[in-house]
Structure 1
Amino acid sequence: MMFEFRRILSIVVVTALAQLVFAEARADATRGAPVALIADEISYSSETGVVTARGDVQVFRDGRTLTADEISYDSNADRLRAAGAMVLRTESGETVFADAADLDAEFRNGIIDGAKAVIAGGAAKFAAAEAERVEDRYNVLTKAVFSPCEVCAASPSPLWRIRAERIIHDQEERRIHYEDAYFDVLGATVGYLPYFSHPSPEVDRATGFLAPDISNDGAYGFGVKLPYYIVVDDYSDVTLTPFVATNDGAILETEYRRRFATGFIDLDLNLGVTDYDSDGKDARARFGGFGTARYGLGDGVHTGFDLAFATDDPFLRRYEYTDLDRLNSEAFIRAYDGRNRAGLNLSYTQSLRRNEPQDTLPAPVPEFSLRRVMNTPFVGGGELGFSLDGGALFREEGRDAGRISAGADWSRSVITEGGLVLRGFADARGDAYQTGDDPALDGAAYRFLPRAGVEARMPFMRSEETGATQILEPIVQFIATPGDINQGDIPNEDSVEVEFDEMNLFETDRFTGFDRVETGVFANIGARFTRIDPAGWGATAAGGAVIRFTDQDEFSSAAGLTGATSDFVGSLGLTYSDQLQFGARARISDEFEFNRAEIYGVGRHAPVSLYGSLLYIEADPSALSFDERSEAMLGGALDLNRNWRLAGEVGRDLESDRFNTARASVTYTNECAAVEVYANRNFNETEDVPDSLTVGLRVRLFGATDDYRRRSRVCDYRTSQ
């Protein structure tokens, strides 16, 4: 009790004395910020003007806190001296530990002996034989060490550190500079630089080098990538990545990103001088890349583009920028106003297939689409819509075609007292085509397409005692379209492939484009089921078939839509929170044969995550798919502990009994680094892109070349018995 009283009295007396002494030392009122001092014991010498505080001393000033075993203040020199377990905490969050210090009264300049500093909320640490604070901006450390890694008793050496003769931490520029720097890994020196610098760990974006990517590939040889990141402004940046491959040459990978208030633009462009034969005789410039942009112009108007191109077929695939064999580019402007829309689109396709000449693909020509919907007081009410669409295709070799279409449609829904949902609908469309460079279809062609139908839905809902809800909804549609419309004189450009599944079971027309139309009289019959459980479980199911009263022979046999009864299509889905996702889809013939089947699933339960799929698709020569497809894929990851992670994926073509792809990786991550060793195998060999194995190493140094903190470290303090 006596001690507490004495300490409180000491606080009051010393604080008053410190305020007096500090105030007398400054004539400038702007430098006389309030000071608080707490100590167990104090003394003051009127002869020397020195205040000495001992025993758990604490000084507070301008958001800074200084603690030590002993602190003395010389009012004549306006200096503070601290000794014994000194700790200085700044208003920016830095913490400095030292054996002793000689500072000015504002803690802004001075010399610190045996300094250790923690910056960016503990993201990184310094240690130095001596540190000097200069101009309240620079921390100059002599014979110093920098590392964001934690050190435990069982492993006293950090994973990595930088030792330097001098380290300068510029707090205004928020950058750390090194002179005569050595880079150590697990205590062993692996590199030296006379000078280099990197952003301070708390900086989110700063210009500088990023961690390298080192790989070895069977096609291009040994490769090294060294990204250089450039901050352009608060909304845009550029990354330049030189990629040097021993067999092929060099590539400069460029990435430009910019964010707008209502959009963005991302460009990934790659320029190289490479030789696929590795003999130096075919070295030439090659260019390719991708881009995406979206921008809102206001009032529901959006514009943008998607870009994909290459100067030669194998360039993007050889260096693993893509595995596509066709590159689709598009530019558009679209407007949406409630139910109304308008759009102008320009598209282009580049083929990377060796047996598909580019001259046989269409040149870029605009397409337009307009739609207007309104409520109508006549025809029993409902919605009335009008549409206008058009486009053209021109080829250097092959058929040219142009089309313009105009249509109107009406629909109205009513709900009976018993809950039955009835909808009537009708539409009509006129098409005009002009075809050239095709002896079979040369000239103009016209057609008129009326259609009418009715739909009935009856949703049933059931609540379980567990709180779960079930919803079952049977659906029946009857649709009629004349079967004698003119289809034979119309070129088929946009309706070649037809994929019949539960997603388009209740469509009035299962052709994807304008050139072909589903005609005749038919009924779409099926049901949908949903179960929602508050415990986290969810289940869905859907299925049905098409009954045809007239068979117009419009679909290929592989589409599953021929005959009086179509194939049965259905799907099942099961989910549990974010830990389980399972789905199955199938198209089954009336002889109970699978014409298409797909099973996929994702499961997560720490420390394991798994995903996989099975796919089977019947051959469809009318869609230029001459072989059956049967594929399997399995992948997953295993977290061995807080630091180690294994991951892998394998894909296999079951029809040809060969692997498609295989990849595996081992990753170690702690609070200061992530190291990944990976291997990728490409089994899809072509003349220009051989079957190859790529093995690589990626290193990320948190606090120096990457995000400053990923996870905290836990030291093991177990002792032997």
Structure 2
Amino acid sequence: GAKDWRVGARTTGAFNLVGNWDFGWDVTYKSDRAFLSDYNFTSVGASETSNVYLEGSSARNALRIEAFSFDLSQEDYTTTGVNDPSASFTSIGNSLQDKQALVLPVVDYDYVFADPIVDGELSLTANFTSLTRSDTDAFQATGSNIDRFRGIEGTFSRFSVRGDWRRTFVDPIGQVFTPFVYARGDMFFLSAADRNVTDLTGSSFVGRFTPAAGIEYKFPIIATFDGGNHVVSPIAQIIARPNEHGIGELPNEDAQSIVFDTTTLFDYDKFSGFDRTEGGTRANVGLSYKLQLDSGYYFSALAGRSYHLSGTNSYEKPDISGSTLNSGLETSASDYVASFYLDTQYGVKLGAQARLDDDDFALKRLQSQISATYGPVVSSFAYAFLGSQPDLGINEDRQELISSASLKLFDNWRIYGSMRYDLEGANIVQDGVGLAYDDEGFSMSMTYAEDRSRNNGEPVDRTLIFRFGLRTLGDLQYSKGLSEQ
């Protein structure tokens, strides 16, 4: 008689082709969403991400071509919520898989010119992204009737190219001036877009052009002493641009994550992707400090903030995804950001990143980590705090501790373990222990892991993970779920 076949498979590969070209893939296939969890073949999360890539690079240019798909394991919601009538979006159903995008392709290209242009450095960056989604992915924050869109039904393609020029001058007393200009052009192509998303542009093609000019100033002040030196440097940067075009009218797929800290303080554009571009005139200021001891100790710190001076603040006006809400940049004077890093040269390193409220210095975000190596022991301990973000539906503070340790038993063998602990919920989220072997040409490991963060009806997912690696051929991994008995 007829049989219903169920099947699942995963394949990975990484190959070095001719010259500097690499080709690889990580692809998972399953006949139905529940296959992997039903048969305990692997550790199952909310989704499996499959990708195929080709990349090549040389001293001055790099190209990467990639495609992605996202296959859910989570079942559909059993009911469909009804949006508030005043919202701009009408409910479209509960098919979670249809809300996932097929990204084909993503192309990134970078090129740095070998010869100086007007005695400065000229570089080009280009990106082409095209994706298709069958259903709009929308949600409402708790207590809000405003829709947030993680993705919109239709096919969206964007081509972006940006040219950057910069030149550095140092005056006789050591002041450093770096004038810069850049120009960026974007072309958006929209097809079969969901017209229930009323804020979305009705055009099938939208062009955007953003020129910018600015200057960065530094004045490193060096003080030496027996055993080391101090370097204190004020930093100021101003960038003039026209307003961003089409805020809230264009899809935002790759610029939904904005982390404002000292690593992005002096970025010309603080958006994480190409779908958004920063507009208006902005000044970024900060103070850096470095201490270097002859014994090897090194300490650095940086603190500063950002000011929106004129034009439309790109972080104040929400886009379709609501990505700029609670970013710390939505006011004329931003939140304060600060960081430090210490390397003792004796195996202990520590660092932290913090963001403080612009009015009362209340802690908005903190990430800190300490790592230590002592003989055969390698360990690390991290603490993360993220303040509540009601506009995004996060109504409570979140705090977590993450720790890991490894002990070398003898040549090439080690045992290891890790734990992730939720301080607000007072529970262990993830933990694991394992045994590993590593040498110059071969590696293998066996890990037992527990995960309590999954939304699959089980209190704990227990998994055995086996990994084998050959330096010239790549890695092979197999996971086996351990069912509750």
Whether TM-score is above 0.5 comes out as yes
- After superposition, give the CA deviation of every residue in 1:6-27 in whole Å (9 maximum; x if it has no partner): xxxxxxxxxxxxxxxxxxxxxx
Tell me the equivalent position of 2:106: 367
- After superposition, give the CA deviation of every residue in 1:337-393 in whole Å (9 maximum; x if it has no partner): 433344433333333444572222222412334444437777x53233445432211
Q: 1:409 to 1:568 in 2, by over 3 A?
A: same
Q: 1:442 to 1:411 in 2, by over 3 A?
A: same
Tell me the equivalent position of 2:231: 471
Q: 1:682 to 1:409 in 2, by over 3 A?
A: closer
Structure 2 Cα separation of the partners of residues 423 and 401 of structure 1? 37
Alignment of 1:147-546 (within 5 A): 285-289=6-10, 291-298=12-19, 301-311=20-30, 313=33, 321-322=42-43, 324-355=45-76, 357-374=96-113, 380-397=118-135, 398-436=153-191, 437-439=193-195, 440=198, 441-443=201-203, 444-466=205-227, 468-483=228-243, 485-546=245-306
Does residue 652 of the first structure (1) align with residue 408 of the second (2)? no
Q: Is the 8 A contact 2:44 2:73 kept in 1?
A: no
- After superposition, give the CA deviation of every residue in 1:619-662 in whole Å (9 maximum; x if it has no partner): 447767666431113444679999x9996543221222222124
What's the RMSD between the two structures over aligned residues? Answer: 3.8
Tell me the equivalent position of 1:592: 361
Q: 1:384 to 1:598 in 2, by over 3 A?
A: closer
Q: 1:607 to 1:384 in 2, by over 3 A?
A: closer
Secondary structure (helix, strand or coil) at the match of 2:266 reads: coil
* Residue of structure 2 aligned with 1:563, choices 313, 324, 331: 331
Q: Is the 8 A contact 1:662 1:680 kept in 2?
A: yes
The structure with the larger Rg is: 1
- After superposition, give the CA deviation of every residue in 1:301-321 in whole Å (9 maximum; x if it has no partner): 423224142425566678585
Q: 1:294 to 1:455 in 2, by over 3 A?
A: farther
The residue identity in structure 2 corresponding to 1:362 is: A
Structure 2 Cα separation of the partners of residues 329 and 429 of structure 1? 31
Tell me the equivalent position of 1:117: none
Q: Is the 8 A contact 2:25 2:53 kept in 1?
A: no
Deviation at 1:448, TM superposition (A): 1.7
The residue identity in structure 2 corresponding to 1:516 is: R
Q: Is the 8 A contact 2:308 2:332 kept in 1?
A: yes
Q: 1:628 to 1:381 in 2, by over 3 A?
A: same
- After superposition, give the CA deviation of every residue in 1:36-69 in whole Å (9 maximum; x if it has no partner): xxxxxxxxxxxxxxxxxxxxxxxxxxxxxxxxxx
Alignment of 1:706-721 (within 5 A): none
Structure 1 Cα separation of the partners of residues 220 and 246 of structure 2? 39
Secondary structure (helix, strand or coil) at the match of 1:650 reads: strand
Q: Is the 8 A contact 1:558 1:618 kept in 2?
A: no
Q: Is the 8 A contact 1:344 1:369 kept in 2?
A: yes
Q: Is the 8 A contact 1:421 1:456 kept in 2?
A: yes
Q: 1:442 to 1:429 in 2, by over 3 A?
A: same
Does residue 686 of the first structure (1) align with residue 455 of the second (2)? yes
Secondary structure (helix, strand or coil) at the match of 1:394 reads: strand
Q: Is the 8 A contact 1:558 1:595 kept in 2?
A: no
Deviation at 1:589, TM superposition (A): 0.9
Structure 2 gaps, min length 5: 77-94, 136-152, 319-323, 437-444, 466-485
Alignment of 1:626-665 (within 5 A): 628-636=397-405, 649-663=418-432
Structure 1 Cα separation of the partners of residues 250 and 446 of structure 2? 56
Q: Is the 8 A contact 1:548 1:565 kept in 2?
A: yes
Q: 1:421 to 1:554 in 2, by over 3 A?
A: farther
Deviation at 1:479, TM superposition (A): 0.7
Deviation at 1:480, TM superposition (A): 1.3
Q: 1:679 to 1:407 in 2, by over 3 A?
A: closer
The residue identity in structure 2 corresponding to 1:424 is: P
Secondary structure (helix, strand or coil) at the match of 1:381 reads: coil
Structure 2 Cα separation of the partners of residues 412 and 292 of structure 1? 42
Q: 1:370 to 1:661 in 2, by over 3 A?
A: closer
The residue identity in structure 1 corresponding to 2:171 is: T
Q: 1:510 to 1:323 in 2, by over 3 A?
A: farther
Structure 1 Cα separation of the partners of residues 454 and 106 of structure 2? 37
Size of the aligned set, in residue pairs, is: 403
Q: Is the 8 A contact 1:568 1:587 kept in 2?
A: yes
Structure 2 Cα separation of the partners of residues 323 and 578 of structure 1? 40
Tell me the equivalent position of 2:307: 547
Q: Is the 8 A contact 2:45 2:454 kept in 1?
A: no
Secondary structure (helix, strand or coil) at the match of 2:326 reads: helix
The residue identity in structure 2 corresponding to 1:630 is: Q
Deviation at 1:510, TM superposition (A): 0.6
Tell me the equivalent position of 2:321: none
Q: 1:430 to 1:654 in 2, by over 3 A?
A: same
Q: 1:435 to 1:461 in 2, by over 3 A?
A: same
Q: Is the 8 A contact 1:288 1:315 kept in 2?
A: no
Deviation at 1:502, TM superposition (A): 1.1
Structure 1 Cα separation of the partners of residues 231 and 47 of structure 2? 42
After TM superposition, the score normalised by the length of structure 2 is: 0.71
Q: Is the 8 A contact 1:340 1:372 kept in 2?
A: yes
Secondary structure (helix, strand or coil) at the match of 1:359 reads: helix
Q: Is the 8 A contact 1:375 1:382 kept in 2?
A: no
Alignment of 1:663-702 (within 5 A): 663=432, 680-687=449-456, 689-691=458-460
Q: Which has the higher contact order (CA 8 A, sep 6+)?
A: 2
How many percent identity over aligned positions?
24
Structure 1 Cα separation of the partners of residues 460 and 275 of structure 2? 40
